[in-house]
Structure 1
Amino acid sequence: MSPGGFSRLSSTNSKRDTPDSERVSPPPLKRKAAAQSTISKNAVANFFTPTSQKPKDRTTWTERSPNSDTPATLLVGKYVPDKEENSKSATLTKERTKIAAFDFDSTLIAPASGKRHAHDAADWKWWHHSVPGRLRQMYNDEGYQVVVFTNQGGLTLHPDPKSKTPKIHQTRVPAFKQKCGVVLAQLDIPITVYAATGKDIFRKPRPGMWNEMKADYDLDDSDIDLEHCIFIGDAGGRAAEVKGGATIPKDFSCSDRNLADNIGIKFQTPDEFFLGEAPRAFTRDFDVTSFEYTEPDDKDSVVFEKTNKQDVVLFVGPPGAGKSSFYWKHLEPLSYWRINQDILKSKEKCFKEAADGLKVGASIIIDNTNPDPEIRAQWIELAKKHKVPIRCVWFKTPLQLCEHNDAVRSLNKQLNPESRSSLPKLAFNGFASRFKEPKIKEGFQDIVEVDFKFQGTKEEFNIWARYWL
């Protein structure tokens, strides 16, 4: 056999008869340094080390569900150093009433490759060399409980076996756990990581991860020193800025700052907290602070009156505009029959139910979005057929406010009497792409315009007036 592992066969000459110049093998090719360094001596030694002698992984992982009816979407990793596993500080965490919460990517760590996203579990470095020392100082010297709140939408804890998602995505959870385990081991302080993988109550800026943390550490609101708590993250809504001739891009969102506002604690970006830089200007796409609560006034609440013995009322407005709430407050007391496609499940059933109501002399309300003249014309034609007038109520609620309302409704049972699920972004964009302002000339007797005004108690407003998107 030759050094390359292949026999040199000849029909005329044996190896013995081959000239020396032909028998000498070429020198082996030198491997690139990068290829030689992929397997370290420590890795080889660790491979042959018996399991009982390998260092224990100090991070334990659990999964949480937003409710009992849905699969788990929150991944929780708890790290306890070996020296503190049985110590008082590892169990009586209620003694620590100050919380220092951090985002993970682009706050504690960054890709070592310089790419926007890490390509594997080993592609990371500290965001700044001061990060580990500062976190240890907060835990050891300043009495903080340190936690991590991170949105990890690229992870799927329980992939659908019928899904066409590439199998490579199924390796992301183990890789994330591996990376976290190494990062936490280098910090070597008691710390818990909360990773939200879905678009539910756990996802920042929603308060789900904060509430899970309170339960894990046995903390009530009255126990926590909110004045001295802090959340550090890179999603601060900062505007783009030119610095030293280079353009610093704007933040991809304001979710970290909004989470801190929802909780009622101080917020800083990594640049401010670790580097001591001055705060940059920031903006929010949707700011709930522009809305104020007003006490319900029955005298001012009558915005719709019945003017016909029998008629059809057609709602026009995007999902989340407040149409159903308007019905229950203003039209249900007037004995209108409600026709709603979310309930009846098809347009055909809506038309049949409406026709049946008109036949028996009932007035009906079409509680659907009805964005364009084409769909509205079908209802106008139905009213003509039954010889009754048709009126329009146009909900002029801005689209972002509608998305906010939808999120509030779907994530808070007390504000969701019909148990509606959250709608995809497509539902709002689809309405916007089809919407045409309703006109009297379409065949309406009149058009009542409704601007959004929160309807509910002060307690309900306090829930509504958080950041949910």
Structure 2
Amino acid sequence: MSPPTTKKRPADDKDRSVSPPPLKRKAQSAITKSAVANFFTPTSQKPKDRTTWSERSPAEGVPATLLVGKYVPEKGDEEAPNKRRKVAAFDLDSTLITSASGKKHSDSATDWKWWDRSVPARLKELYNDEGYRVIILTNQAGLILHPDPKSKAPRSHSTQRVTNFKQKANAVLTQLDIPITLYGATGKDIFRKPRTGMWREMCKDYNLDPSTIDLEKSIFVGDAGGRKAFLQNGKAVPKDFSCSDRNLAENIGIQFKTPEEFFLGENPRDFARDFDLINFPFAGEHEKIKFEKKNEQELVLFCGPPGAGKSTFFWKHLKPLGFERVNQDLLKSKDMCFKTATGLLRDGESVVVDATNPDPDTRAQWITLAEKHKVPIRCVWFRTPIQLCEHNDVVRSLNKELNPEERQPLPKLAFNAFASRFKEPKVKEGFQDIVELDFKFRGTKEDYEIWGKYWL
């Protein structure tokens, strides 16, 4: 018995119009042929990785947070490391490379491609023909070099992410094949852009005196330029997520360009900073402060966000007038603050309550205490913008000379919580008067050299 035959359905008119049938388009792979070949090559036959990795700590006794990869070509780096005085520094992601898959953040070691096909040739030209020292400075907050022993998260995940990053970075540096060092900041410390810790490490590595670098011809290229959103051909181009790359260049004193400007020759776009230091010049060391003691004994209530300069103001201007300070950061609880203030008032002392006191309900408790002891209560309102307070907090926590009380950095939540609760203080709440203070840096010229940099 012959096998049954299957009768084919005749193609309809639409199908007949396509001849031959359309080919399926292959999805572009991020994995190169050389990478596949390398995978199947025995280890003994593979070329030696020319990137040497090391880690660095932001301070003595603190786990390392800076990952450093130094690539030396097979022919070596024959010249003295301090010979090159011009520095061309680049961000990594969205500047030199981007993900091949289109993902915004990719952990894969092979998911990358050049940001533009011109990138590798341009970097080689900078080193080989124009005499630049070429380096990479990149924030990599997603990496954890030394997981917290108390963390419940599996360590294997953190380790794999670091391994993948090293493999990706090594592939990038190998394709460039010029003497180059990559610095990756994984923590929120002195190494993180726009702070200049990575730049200083580069100077030490290449035996460069910062004062001898050709700042006028040096450059930093990165995508975090604070560019504003705009419309292009009817489509919205979003604003930059940050201004940290531009601010790093400003801190160092070198030229800044975005990758579009540097590699593609595009015109600069408008940019804006959430916090601009140009609005806060050095005020001088002997500026007259509009505060004086009005009563033989009084209670002064500070009101303002964390990082507004309240404690500094107390030590410089109210302590010399004989005031005693009540501060919850030191006393650890509100009850202890009230207990301490009560004792001081009973002893006839004038007292400053150094706290944020954001709303009428909080302030009312102190007004009631003042009334109980028949002492006039005054308010000093620190009208300091939140972005400026965050700047002050970081400067204080990262610079021992400006942090005599050794305060730890505050979480973003502390600033947001104040902003959500804040109500402007009014005399009708029960104050004798309200002294309003706009922020000005009140310190030495040497201190301003530290404070007057971008830290966020």
TM-score, scaled to structure 2: 0.89
Q: Which residue of 1 aligns with 2:49?
A: 57
Matched, 1:236 2:229: no
Q: Please state if 1:83 is matched with 2:72.
A: no
Match of 2:12 in 1: none
Q: CA deviation at 1:169?
A: 4.2
Give the superposition deviation at 1:105: 0.3
Task: Please report how far the alpha carbon of residue 47 of structure 1 lies from its aligned counterpart in structure 2 after TM superposition.
Answer: 5.2
Which residue matches 2:17? Answer: none
Task: Give the Cα–Cα distance (whole angstroms) in 2 for the partners of residues 164 and 280 of structure 1.
Answer: 45
Cα distance 1:335–1:428, how it changes in 2: closer, same or farther (>3 A)? same
* 1:101 matches 2:82: no
Query: What's 1:454 paired with?
Result: 441
Partner of 2:376: 389
Whole-angstrom distance in 1 between the partners of 2:387 and 2:31: 49
Secondary structure of 2:105's counterpart equals: coil
| Partner residue, 2:253 | 264
Does the C-alpha gap of structure 1 residues 198 and 289 become closer, same or farther in structure 2, counting only changes over 3 Å?
Answer: same
| Total equivalences in the alignment | 432
Q: CA RMSD in A?
A: 2.3
C-alpha distance in 2, partners of 1:442/1:390? 10
What SS does the aligned partner of 1:228 have? Answer: coil
Larger Rg: 1
* Worse-matched range after superposition: 59-68 or 457-466: 457-466
- The equivalences for 1:247-258 within 5 A come to 247-258=236-247
Greater mean alpha carbon deviation, residues 325-334 or residues 439-448: 439-448
Instruction: Give CA-to-partner distance per residue, 1:438-465, whole Å, 9 cap, x none.
Output: 1222222221111111101222222222
For 2:71, give the aligned amino acid.
Answer: Y
1:44 to partner: Cα distance? 7.1
Find out whether 1:359 has 2:352 as its counterpart: no
Return the match for 2:114 from 103, 107, 126.
126
- For residues 107 and 254 of structure 1, what CA distance do their matches in structure 2 show? 14
Within 5 Å, give how 1:111-190 maps onto structure 2.
111-165=99-153, 168-190=157-179
**Secondary structure of 1:82's aligned partner:** coil
Separation of aligned partners in 1, 2:130 and 2:57: 33
Cα distance between partner residues in 1 of 2:279 and 2:30: 57
Q: Is residue 2:435 matched to residue 1:445?
A: no
3-state SS, counterpart of residue 350 of structure 1: helix
CA contact (8 A) 1:232 1:256 kept: yes
**Preserved CA contact (<8 Å) 1:136 1:187:** yes
CA apart distance, 1:432:
0.5
How high is the TM-score relative to the length of structure 1?
Answer: 0.87
What SS class does the counterpart of residue 94 from structure 1 fall into? coil
Change (3 A) 1:43 1:142: same
CA contact (8 A) 2:380 2:437 kept: yes
Amino acid at match of 2:201: E
| Residues in 2 aligned to 1:282 and 1:82: alpha-carbon distance in whole angstroms | 42
Give the partner amino acid of 1:332.
K
* Structure 2 counterpart of 1:340, from 304, 321, 327: 327
Q: Structure 1, unaligned stretches of length 5 or more?
A: 1-20, 22-32
**Deviation for aligned residue 1:194:** 0.8
Give the aligned partner of residue 208 of structure 2.
219
Change beyond 3 A, Cα 1:412–1:384: same
Question: Residue type of the partner of 1:79?
Answer: Y
Residues 289 and 465 in structure 1, CA contact (< 8 A), matched pair in contact too:
no
The one-character-per-residue Cα deviations of 1:227-271 (angstroms, maximum 9, x if unpaired) are 110000011111122223433221111111111011000011111
Query: How far, CA to CA, are the matches of 1:69 and 1:379 in structure 2?
Result: 42
Note the 1:399-414 alignment, pairs <5 A.
399-414=386-401
Q: Report SS of the residue matched to 2:216.
A: helix
Letter in 1 for 2:187: G
Letter in 2 for 1:125: K
Percent identity at matched positions? 65
Tell me the alpha carbon deviations over residues 317-363 of structure 1, each in whole angstroms, 9 at most, x when there is no partner: 00111101110111100121111111122222212221221222211
